[in-house]
Amino acid sequence: MFDAASLPDLTDNTSALVLHEPKERPSDKDLQRVNGCCRVLLGGNEKGTRIMDVYQQSPIRVLFPRVGGGTLMGEAVLVNTAGGIAGGDQLECSVTALDNASIAVTSQAAERIYRALDQPARIKTSLKASDAARLAWLPQETIVFNRARISRETEIELSSGAELLALEWLVLGRAAYGEKMDSGRITDSWRVKKNGRLIWADSFRVTDEVFPHLSRKALLSDCDAVATLLYFGPHLDMRLQLIRDAIQSLECQCGATLVSGLIVVRFAAKAFCDLKFALQALLQQFDREFGPGPFRVPKMWSC
């Protein structure tokens, strides 16, 4: 027989059902993230380039190997001990080359940008070359995983009489895994100043809505590896022609132009290996034409 007295009294608050609000979506802000930086200040004299100041904060480390087994320092290597970059990470690097300093700065390995939840990884690079300094910024490639978010800024300050070569390159997706990027967010910005005056600004930006259309000819035309190379220094017309002659034989799409006293070279390739071979070939040409100095293929690229 049904006994109504056995039912709970819903007027009693202690017996009422409590509905919990759904939890918020997970965020990169709630996870452990890195905030690393480094600062390198270099000077030069008749004996070569010398280190004047170095500051480093984990996970960034700066090494100065002796290139070719000699006693002169010609290369600085940046190491990310975290093994990659995740959404919400912040990394900052500053390199200043004063009078007569000559240095090539590269990275130990390709940088990897992992998938993010909702926050971009932020990378800022500041380069400064003073009178008679020769500075080459030649990191290895940055591989952007599917659904990664990255905001990268490269700021350069130049003085008349300085010489600079700066490279940044992106690989979209992990080609070895057959990965194609179908979503994510990339912002890659350049700002170049000469004697305090802005002479070139450029931004490459891709969002979730754009990735499905990147195969169009007006965009990347199925190219998954892109690069920008800048050169500032003497004999610009002659060196622009040198670059244009060299890129005709490269196995990727290339173009070079002169803008406000700055040579800008663009590269795009369907395969990462084609882009790397093209950059190596061009840097080898620089090494032959420019003579001894930092404008060459870094030793770490072959390690």
Burial state string for 70-100 with b = 16 or more CB within 10 A and e = fewer than 16: eeebbbbbbebebebbbbbbbbbbbbbbbeb
pLDDT tens figures, 55-105: 999 999 999 987 655 546 789 999 999 999 999 999 999 999 999 999 999
Using CA atoms of 42, 45, 47, 52 in order, give the dihedral in degrees to the nearest 10: -30
Predicted pLDDT of residue 194: 96
Predicted pLDDT of residue 54: 96
Predicted pLDDT of residue 265: 98
User: What is this structure's pTM?
Assistant: 0.89
Predicted pLDDT of residue 19: 52
Starting at the earlier edge strand, list the strands of the sheet with 90-97. Answer: 48-57, 35-45, 90-97, 121-129, 149-158, 185-194, 197-206
pLDDT tens figures, 123-164: 999 999 998 999 999 999 999 999 999 999 999 999 999 999
How does strand 225-232 pair with strand 262-269?
A: antiparallel
| Local confidence band at 177 (pLDDT 50, 70, 90 cut-offs) | confident
pLDDT at 2 over 50: no
Q: What are phi and psi of 173, to 5 degrees?
A: 90, 160
Predicted pLDDT of residue 26: 81
